[in-house]
Amino acid sequence: MRAGIVVTGTEVLTGRIADQNGPWVSEQLLAAGVDVAHITICGDRPADLTAQLRFLADQQVDLIVTSGGLGPTADDLTVATVAEFCGRDLQLDPALEEHIAGIIRRWRPDTVDLDDGPTRIGIHKQARVPAGAVAIPPTGTAPGVAIPAVPGTQPLPAILVLPGPPGELQAMWPAAIASPAIADVVSRADDLTQETIRAYGLHEAELAETLRRAEETIPGFAALEITTCLRRGELDMVTRFAAADTATYGQLLDFLTEHHGRQIFSTDGSTIEDQLIATLDGRLIATAESCTGGLVAARLTDRPGSSAYVTGGVVSYSNDAKSDLIDVPAELIASRGAVSEEVAAAMAEGALRHLKSDVAVSTTGIAGPDGGTEAKPVGTVCFGVAIKGRPTHTITRRFPGDRERVRSLTTTAALHLVVAQLKRDRAAG
């Protein structure tokens, strides 16, 4: 089973916003055993969209997923273009029309033209579904559409049409792949298992070298489909394999653990956030950030329910803020510098105290592009991890890249440091 993904939208094509849907849908399809052969991006010109649909159909993909172009306005043309491509008429779905109107009524109760005027025209347009297709209920206001494959001498793949806003598309995904036209494709996909190993502090080239040796050592290695990827400073390795090759994957896992056991932090797909929550084990965490400016706190509070373990944080960007909010002595900043392990320790301890927490992590560094010195070049970051009743742990790291990369790598490093320190603390009893 092979699929193609079509991302529409002039704003994506022209580079003004980065596409999130292609990669996300690709990951979901892969996880369901459907191989993605092509992702294509076009603007809001129907002729270009039609050309891409024709290209993918000619490539004999079994499924096309499109994103975008489902809005209420006249330039949103995906459903009409796809319907024409499939030779299907558009038919009004009155129940769907009322469903969309109901959503707008709840969200924007003051919409005056809900029963008449531009809003009603838009709803009417959005409630038109190609003949023989099934609507996917909207989570925003734009419904999706699932069109069954057509077998025969001029076959057409199944086509799943979804909206562009990533939040809407993702929320609609479970219903979309459960709809009969799409479920039929997925049910015929290979039943592959996908396993993820995550490492931190391991270079891609080192892993590549180890995999080369594994290939020589492990019989049947070629049956494993391995891809590796660096993301926010972590190295993920995803392996897909059939049930018959489970033992081979087990051998690979042993081989990797033997060589990189210290760097591999997850073999069950769990993320560093999952592990942080598990190692916190009911304790409360706080942050004190300088160069990351709130990114560590934002990442910790990303998850629903994070108020159960995050008390809060301090973004002590200025030196005054470090002293005033969390008692970092001004003399310490003056003598050691704001970017120093001493200040990082004082920040973590101050946050621990002021935010009545059990654990606190701090970052202070030089994100750049300015502010670097010979002794402390851009990318230098000091961290502190304070655990109630224990000596505070500090470390200095140096990260490559531009401001955004340094801030992102620092955020990931902060989470890994906390987990490592909590585990060490637990091991020490």
**Is residue 37 a contact residue for its own copies (CB under 8 A)?**
yes
**Is residue 217 a contact residue for its own copies (CB under 8 A)?**
no
**Is residue 195 a contact residue for its own copies (CB under 8 A)?**
no
Total site size for its own copies, rule CB under 8 A: 102
CB-based contacts of 120, cutoff 8 Å, min separation 6: 101, 113, 114
Tell me the three state secondary structure of residue 263. coil
CB-based contacts of 380, cutoff 8 Å, min separation 6: 339, 365, 366, 372, 396, 397, 398
Contact letters (x/-) for its own copies, 238-257, by CB under 8 A? x-------------------
Residue of 180, 269, 404, 424 interacting with its own copies (CB under 8 A): 404
Q: Which is nearer to its own copies, 133 or 409 (CB)?
A: 409
Residue of 1, 43, 267, 395 interacting with its own copies (CB under 8 A): 43
Residue of 99, 220, 228, 279 interacting with its own copies (CB under 8 A): 228
**Is residue 204 a contact residue for its own copies (CB under 8 A)?**
yes
Kindly state the DSSP code that residue 151 receives in the 8-state scheme.
-
**For residue 281, how many C-alpha atoms fall within 13 Å in the half-sphere facing its CB?**
6
Restricting to residues 100-159, which ones interact with its own copies according to CB under 8 A? 107, 118-119, 122, 140
Q: What gap in Å lies between CA 398 and CA 142, rounded to an integer?
A: 46
Residue of 8, 32, 34, 44 interacting with its own copies (CB under 8 A): 44
Contact letters (x/-) for its own copies, 295-334, by CB under 8 A? xxxx-xxx-xxxx--xxxxxxxxx-xx--xx---------
Q: Supply the angle between the helices 341-354 and 319-326 in degrees, to the nearest 10.
A: 40
The pairing of strands 63-67 and 158-162 is parallel
Q: Which is nearer to its own copies, 133 or 264 (CB)?
A: 264
**Is residue 63 a contact residue for its own copies (CB under 8 A)?**
no
**Is residue 373 a contact residue for its own copies (CB under 8 A)?**
no
Q: Which has the closest alpha carbon to 19: 165, 208, 226?
A: 165
Q: What is the DSSP string of 340-352?
A: SHHHHHHHHHHHH
Q: Which has the closest alpha carbon to 337: 391, 385, 380?
A: 380
CB of 322 to its own copies, least distance (A): 8
Using the contact rule CB under 8 A, the part of the chain among 13-21, 82-90, 252-260, 327-335 near its own copies is: 13-21
